[in-house]
Structure 1
Amino acid sequence: MTQRVAACQISDLEVGQMQQFSVADQEILLARLETGFYATAAHCSHYGAPLVNGVLQGDRVVCPWHNACFNVTSGAMLEPPGRNHLRQYPTEIEADTVYVKLPETAESAHVLPALAAPDTQADSRTFAIVGGGAAGSAAAEMLRQVGFQGKIIIFSDDSQLPYDRTALSKSYLQSDTVNDPSLLRSADFYQQYGIEVKTEVRVSQIDVAAQQLTYGDSTLRYDALLLATGGKIRQLPVAGADLENVFTLRSAADAKAILRAAQTAKHAVIIGAGFIGMEVAASLKQQGLSVTVVAPSSVPFEKVLGKPVGQLFQQIHQAQGVQFRLGTKATELQGDTQVKSVVLENGETLQADLAVVGIGVDPATELAQGLALDDDDSSILVNQYLQAAPGVYAAGDIAKFPHFMTGEPVRIEHWRLALQHGRIAACNMAGQTVPFKAVPFFWTGQFDIKLRYIGHAESWDDLIIQGSLDNKSFLAFYSQAGQVLAVAGAGRDRDIAAISELMRLGQMPAAEAIKKTDIDWSKQLAK
């Protein structure tokens, strides 16, 4: 049974506008397009952001928090990190009133995408996915979405089913208890849709010519292969790095070990001032530990965000009591069996009963025999379809792919981009021809600041700051030769969402235009 609810008057919304309204315990997003009025669930299927605070471009709404995208006419999820579609509700117009037809009993706001049932008699092919992270799990699911009915096997050296790695350094380390992280999908989901996930299984060899891989004492012949092995943690090359309570953070097991140690530790030293190091520093400080960050850079995030934004993050951490030792390195970790102190290059010794090393990752491409690798970082070279060789694809941290905005080969270590890679690779494995043309995006949350970053700039010759760094409400534009390559922002979520669409459409204004005027980015997108 349905109920007809008056949502608004026709004149209340112009074309290209959205509004949110509530009926009992149902929250609805109403959008007006040239073709009419459309109603869907109001909140993103990732972390529940109100989509009305995002932007509407054509029939596409962009989430203001993590850039998931949905089609407002159907509710379909177009871009991750959302996993499910939005529930869609019929609308009708009578006189000047827009009505929405809602179920009398509230239903789930989000709907699982239509997935093909596995049927190896209809399709006898086997698709192998090596890596159970963001790219691998997204690919497996997308294969079913595009109708693949053959066998899908994920090989994962992790002990758990695919989970949200982005939470490990943030909310997970701020928890009171040591639990398993949130799974992306349940075990029942993988079983129902015939996706076999082999956990704690390490693939030891791949023979591209024979289309065969080896794991343990077994071999598997595959028809298509996706390599999504991610990054391998860089180890600290100093004495004492193998002491107890010295950690790196890549997996749920790592996060659990850090959280257990944090329950009794008092003094944490974080080695590295990148995103993992700084997020862990914020989380452990919120657990009540004394925290000191050690890094050779002059400010955190200097190479990625530049000095002004890096200084802001340092000031935010210092205001919460985090200490910094910058422009120096750790040369030794001391202790009998467990770490007790960290010795710095400048001669200072820091007390530490817990240390976390976050000095980056390298592509885990040891299995990539027979594939073309980049000379600089040994990443796998792929084309715009994420193909490394006939029948072989690579996605995520290990893939160097042509950036659609510049044509330059890039490798990007973003969780959302890995999800995007996995989805596009799956389409092409299944026989479609879909180039990768998504705009990279990442986010970080530390204490009271949440920063979003759209685009990709490995270097820049001009940095334009608009807004107020002191008030944590700003946009930072990174440009090279007048072209804006990336934008970072805090307190400007809708602007970042609008800028992401302008970049996708190839309509981003030049740096000089941005310098001359304070652009209303939603209006710029609507032009």
Structure 2
Amino acid sequence: MSTKTIAVLDENELKDGQMKEVAFEEGKVLLSRLGDQVHATSAFCTHYGAPLAKGVLTANGRIVCAWHGACFNVCNGDIEDAPAPMAIHSFKTQIKDGKIHVTADPANTLKKNMSRQATLRATGVNSTGKGVVIVGGGSGTFHAVESMRENGYPGPITILSKETYNPIDRTRLSKALVTDPAKLEWRTAADLKIKYGTNIRLGVEVTAVDIENKVVTLDSGKETLPYDKLILASGGTPRRLPIEGAQLENVFTFRGVEDAKKVDAAAKEGKRVVVIGSSFISMEIVVAIAQRKLASIDVIGMEEFPFESVLGKAVGAGIKKHHEQDYGVKFHMSSKVEKIIPQEDNANLAGGVVVNGTTIPCDFIVMGVGVAPATEFLKGSGIELEKDGGIRVDEYLRVKSGKDTKNVFAIGDIAIYPQQNGEETRIEHWNVAANHGRSVGTAIAGHPHAFVKIPIFWSAQGQQLRYCGLGAKFEDVIVKGDPGDMKFIAYYVKAGKIVAVASMQHDPVVSKASELLRLGLMPSPEEVRNGKDLLSIDISSSSTLQKVAP
């Protein structure tokens, strides 16, 4: 490694609370100024490569990516929030003769080398004892492992996953129909074993848990495994409507790589698809297959507009218009599926969906009607399951029921956890599971802190939809812009406060909104109606440090 020191910018061109991307030979560096201190880091987010200069900086050194909410510490490059899978480089700076000088290895300023391995304070290699057992192999699991080792947990970690591949970037299944798990894995099996000291067991199913004796049972009694700490990260199971024909061979639900393979194989030129459900997974699949020259794409939804319960009528109507005009989608809204009928020449395959007395012909069906918490294996464990199968946890994500409420954690789709507004909610966002994992990893390593992240999600709908907050059962929506043009900001109001924000083509508004919600600095609905711009609110300059410091 050979470093160089280069003057990259006049000092007076970088103001307090400002970020600026600058050239470093053939690479790029991000400069961030916090008071008198200038910090230099990689210029790109390690999640999907977004330019961090377009994100949001806070006075205590958090930088939030504009695309998907990944967060880093500009003082050292460490990960603050998911979905960042790797840290960013941190470079030395010096102000001399009115210039900002950066010392870096030029190779580390190139976009292809933007990430670095986070500092692992423990690896667990050659560790002994029972350690931590994680049930599930998704986003929460990956980030829990990462966080435990970053924060110095030295003991064994065992992952038990029904899936046959390492933890993957599951969001790309519905958004892009990627079917090769090797292209989706966050870490290779070798890295998980060697760098993280993790024993990952794939294709195994936990069928029971004995909380009192701290033992999990695999594959209906074939094996038992003891633990000291248990993380329940089993995710969700796709629902099927309880209707005639729902089990036919070409009626697909969507969760894992095998589901993506089935849809990918079926979605060929000239074929007809019926999509049951008009929310995010369903509509992402519609976008993913829209360019494949299918004969028809029919979407059936119970609401008047797609996404209505989450995004409201105006936004739902705008996105519906886009799908109709750009993708030729035919919607059957305010409708209920009566049954699925088989093909005349093959009773095992669906040939049509009956809606409102009319049969919509099809060659295959995608049923995207939500997921149920995958918690059946916990029946009889003493952990209380709610009606929907969820598990109530405390602010540290520890289970609130059963004989051990100190050493058992539940995260992700199965966890009903406390929110900033005082409610308890189960949220099926990939990013929530990831940040749950990071929080639990910190706690197990001996540094517990209450989970207070603002939920963030995104969806590919022709343009990138971004959303943050807790907008369930909103009472009003303030819309700026035209959702029909796929360019807008929507503010969701409940009990006189803005509780969530969605946008298209207005980055980094949602990233800024997530920080304002987290800090309790979101302006009032009246201020927003009167033109208040979230991006104009200062949380970056050193004068605001007292407001933003934890």
Both proteins in one fold, TM over 0.5 = yes
Deviation, 1:524, is 4.4
Are residues 1:482 and 2:489 paired?
no
More relative contact order in 1 or in 2 (CA 8 Å, sep 6+)?
A: 2
- Report what 2:398 is aligned to: 387
8 Å Cα contact 2:319/2:484 also seen in 1: no
Whichever residue aligns with residue 519 of structure 2, its letter is L
Are residues 1:305 and 2:311 paired?
yes
Aligned sequence identity (%): 36
SS of 1:168 mapped into structure 2: helix
- After TM superposition, the structure 1 = structure 2 runs for residues 22-421 of structure 1, keeping only pairs within 5 Å, are 22-58=23-59, 59-106=61-108, 108-115=113-120, 116-120=122-126, 124-172=129-177, 180-192=182-194, 193-216=196-219, 217-263=222-268, 266-289=271-294, 290-320=296-326, 321-333=328-340, 334-335=342-343, 336-368=346-378, 369-373=380-384, 375-388=386-399, 389-403=405-419, 405-421=420-436
8 Å Cα contact 2:119/2:150 also seen in 1: yes
Write out per-residue CA displacement over residues 413-439 of structure 1, whole angstroms, 9 at most, x where no aligned residue.
000010000111122223322110101
After superposing the two structures, state which structure 1 stretch, 154-163 or 123-132, moved more: 123-132
8 Å Cα contact 1:385/1:434 also seen in 2: yes
8 Å Cα contact 1:265/1:353 also seen in 2: no
- Report what 1:436 is aligned to: 451
After superposing the two structures, state which structure 1 stretch, 4-13 or 218-227, moved more: 4-13
Deviation, 1:105, is 4.3
Whichever residue aligns with residue 99 of structure 1, its letter is H
Deviation, 1:35, is 3.5
SS of 2:175 mapped into structure 1: coil
Two-structure CA RMSD over aligned residues (Å)? 1.8
8 Å Cα contact 1:178/1:259 also seen in 2: no
Deviation, 1:117, is 2.1
Whichever residue aligns with residue 439 of structure 2, its letter is I
Q: Distance in 2 between matches of 1:375 and 1:494?
A: 37
Shift of the 511–126 alpha-carbon distance from structure 1 to 2, 3 Å rule, reads same
Q: Distance in 1 between matches of 2:286 and 2:408?
A: 39
Whichever residue aligns with residue 61 of structure 1, its letter is I
Q: Distance in 2 between matches of 1:264 and 1:468?
A: 33
Q: Distance in 2 between matches of 1:77 and 1:522?
A: 26
Shift of the 338–22 alpha-carbon distance from structure 1 to 2, 3 Å rule, reads farther
Whichever residue aligns with residue 413 of structure 1, its letter is E
Give the TM-score normalised by structure 1: 0.95
- Report what 1:466 is aligned to: 480
Deviation, 1:106, is 4.5
Are residues 1:445 and 2:460 paired?
yes
- Report what 1:423 is aligned to: 438
After superposing the two structures, state which structure 1 stretch, 470-479 or 163-172, moved more: 470-479
After superposing the two structures, state which structure 1 stretch, 25-34 or 340-349, moved more: 340-349
Q: Distance in 1 between matches of 2:423 and 2:486?
A: 32
Q: Distance in 1 between matches of 2:293 and 2:182?
A: 22
- Report what 2:548 is aligned to: none
Write out per-residue CA displacement over residues 224-257 of structure 1, whole angstroms, 9 at most, x where no aligned residue.
0000111111112222222222101100111011
SS of 1:47 mapped into structure 2: coil
Whichever residue aligns with residue 13 of structure 1, its letter is L
Deviation, 1:101, is 1.3
After superposing the two structures, state which structure 1 stretch, 332-341 or 284-293, moved more: 332-341
Whichever residue aligns with residue 302 of structure 2, its letter is P
SS of 1:67 mapped into structure 2: coil
Deviation, 1:24, is 3.6
Q: Distance in 2 between matches of 1:87 and 1:94?
A: 22
Shift of the 118–328 alpha-carbon distance from structure 1 to 2, 3 Å rule, reads same
Write out per-residue CA displacement over residues 7-32 of structure 1, whole angstroms, 9 at most, x where no aligned residue.
11111011011111223431111111
Shift of the 339–294 alpha-carbon distance from structure 1 to 2, 3 Å rule, reads farther
SS of 1:184 mapped into structure 2: coil
Q: Distance in 2 between matches of 1:397 and 1:520?
A: 30
8 Å Cα contact 2:144/2:438 also seen in 1: yes
8 Å Cα contact 1:271/1:358 also seen in 2: yes
In structure 1, runs of 5+ residues without a counterpart are none
After superposing the two structures, state which structure 1 stretch, 180-189 or 454-463, moved more: 180-189
Are residues 1:494 and 2:508 paired?
yes
Q: Distance in 1 between matches of 2:336 and 2:244?
A: 13
Deviation, 1:378, is 2.7
- Report what 1:514 is aligned to: 528
Q: Distance in 1 between matches of 2:307 and 2:279?
A: 5
SS of 2:376 mapped into structure 1: coil
8 Å Cα contact 1:41/1:86 also seen in 2: yes
Whichever residue aligns with residue 305 of structure 2, its letter is V
Write out per-residue CA displacement over residues 303-331 of structure 1, whole angstroms, 9 at most, x where no aligned residue.
11111111111111001211111111222
- Report what 1:505 is aligned to: 519
8 Å Cα contact 1:382/1:400 also seen in 2: yes
Q: Distance in 2 between matches of 1:411 and 1:396?
A: 8
Q: Distance in 2 between matches of 1:464 and 1:524?
A: 22
Q: Distance in 1 between matches of 2:225 and 2:529?
A: 57
Shift of the 141–458 alpha-carbon distance from structure 1 to 2, 3 Å rule, reads same
8 Å Cα contact 1:179/1:256 also seen in 2: no
Shift of the 17–502 alpha-carbon distance from structure 1 to 2, 3 Å rule, reads same
Write out per-residue CA displacement over residues 145-168 of structure 1, whole angstroms, 9 at most, x where no aligned residue.
111111100110001111011010
Write out per-residue CA displacement over residues 184-234 of structure 1, whole angstroms, 9 at most, x where no aligned residue.
111121111211111110001001111111103111110000001111111
SS of 2:377 mapped into structure 1: coil
Deviation, 1:374, is 5.5
8 Å Cα contact 1:299/1:311 also seen in 2: yes
In structure 2, runs of 5+ residues without a counterpart are 400-404, 545-550
After superposing the two structures, state which structure 1 stretch, 369-378 or 491-500, moved more: 369-378
8 Å Cα contact 1:482/1:512 also seen in 2: no
Deviation, 1:258, is 1.1
Deviation, 1:346, is 1.1
SS of 1:475 mapped into structure 2: strand
SS of 1:431 mapped into structure 2: coil
